[in-house]
Amino acid sequence: MSDRRLAIGRDPLDVTELIGLVSGDEPGAHGAVVTFVGTVRGENQGRRVIRLEYEAYEPLAMRAFAIICDEVSARWPSARVAFHHRTGSLALGEASVVIAAASPHRADAFAACRYVIERLKQIAPVWKREYFEGGDVWIEGATADPSDESAREEAYRRSCA
């Protein structure tokens, strides 16, 4: 995909840009736009977080983003999504990920937006290093496997809960 709908990099994120990217050229095509902004939290598992450092394997991340986009199109054909992930050092409160989802009706927009964040957390090759008061630690979550059907179903179940 040559447009800006999917991106990863060091630049600060702009939710307004993402809303524009899903809104399309034709006014009134969508009745709902849902956005999600993931931000750096100051507390994690009892630790006082100072900042986070995000590392990514960018070409593979773009591949993972395209897979997620295709999955959204298959589940919610009328929805249009865009999402950007940030890398590098982020201060408390800064946005690490921004998602926008548009569709004719709100249910699909909410579901598609939630699905994107759940799948990003499962398969995007991005790693978070937490710097907290007293040390630092790599956070490790899910084994990245886009073909894991049970993970995909879990993301879908959460999206429609």
Partner 1 sequence: MRITIRLFGRLHDLAGASELEREVPMTATVASVWQMLAAEFPTVAPYARSVSAAVNADFVKTTTTLAEGDEVAFLPPVSGGM
Q: Which residues ranging from 87 to 116 are in contact with partner 1 (CB under 8 A)?
A: 96-97
Shortest distance in whole angstroms from residue 70 CB to partner 1: 13
Contacts of 63 (CB under 8 A, 6+ apart): none
Stretch that binds partner 1, among 16-24, 51-59, 106-114, 150-158 (CB under 8 A): 51-59
Stretch that binds partner 1, among 9-17, 26-34, 35-43, 106-114 (CB under 8 A): 35-43
**Residue of the chain from 60, 75, 92, 131 that contacts partner 1 (CB under 8 A):** 60
Q: Does 44 bind partner 1 (CB under 8 A)?
A: no
Which residues are paired to 137 by β-bridges? 130
Helix (H) or strand (E) holding 161: none
How far apart are the C-alpha atoms of 80 and 73, rounded to whole Å? 8
Q: Does 149 bind partner 1 (CB under 8 A)?
A: no
Stretch that binds partner 1, among 23-31, 72-80, 120-128, 152-160 (CB under 8 A): 120-128
Q: Which is nearer to partner 1, 2 or 143 (CB)?
A: 143
Shortest distance in whole angstroms from residue 31 CB to partner 1: 27
Which segments of 8-139 does DSSP mark as H helices, in order? 15-23, 58-75, 106-123
Q: Does 64 bind partner 1 (CB under 8 A)?
A: yes
Shortest distance in whole angstroms from residue 28 CB to partner 1: 32
| Closest to 1 (Cα-Cα) out of 85, 73, 66 | 66
Look up residue 104 and give its two tokens: 């004719």
Which residues are paired to 52 by β-bridges? 90, 130
SS3 5: coil
How far apart are the C-alpha atoms of 113 and 110, rounded to whole Å? 5
Tell me which residues touch partner 1 (CB under 8 A): 38-39, 41, 54-57, 59-61, 63-64, 85, 96-97, 117, 120-129, 138-147
